[in-house]
Amino acid sequence: MFQIPTFMLKQLYVPGSLQNTESGFRFLVRNPFFDGTLVGVVKVAVNGQEIDLDCIFAAGWAARSVTCEAPLSFPRGAELEVTVAAEPLPSGRHNLYCKVETGEFGPLKVDVFDRI
């Protein structure tokens, strides 16, 4: 299976997109590479704190509901808004870590920093 280098995976995150919302926070991911399919969300953490997958949503899907049987298409050029139902984040720099499972490339890990 083709491995995507870490420096390229960081390009999935849209810098400057981390924002607080009334019900938590949000950020954007964009697919600049190849058509892909998410078949699982393994882990999402902010500043080392893992977030319950039931609190994470993208394209109307709860993260926990993305499976091989119910995949989420992520075509090249697509942008997804990821919303997290949690406490808003304090101002400052934050570490975002996401591990997802894809049908085409296997597991992908994105580890980035952004500011609110």
Give the separation between CA 31 and CA 49, rounded to whole angstroms: 25
State the maximum Cα–Cα separation within the chain, in Å, rounded to a whole number. Answer: 41
CA distances to 3, 17, 26, 73 from 114, rounded to whole Å, are: 25, 8, 12, 25
Reply yes or no on whether the pLDDT at 4 is more than 80: no
Could you report the per-residue pLDDT of 6-46, keeping only the tens digit for each? 888 899 999 999 999 999 999 999 999 889 999 999 999 99
Residue 55 is given by DSSP the state G
Reply yes or no on whether the pLDDT at 108 is more than 70: yes
According to the model, what pLDDT value does residue 84 have?
97
Could you report the per-residue pLDDT of 39-72, keeping only the tens digit for each? 999 999 999 999 999 999 998 889 999 999 999 9
> Structure tokens of 8?
């390229």
Closest residue by Cα to residue 57 from 36, 27, 35: 27
Could you report the per-residue pLDDT of 66-93, keeping only the tens digit for each? 999 999 999 999 999 999 999 999 999 9
The pTM for the full model equals 0.91
Domains and CATH numbers, the chain: 6-115 (2.60.40)
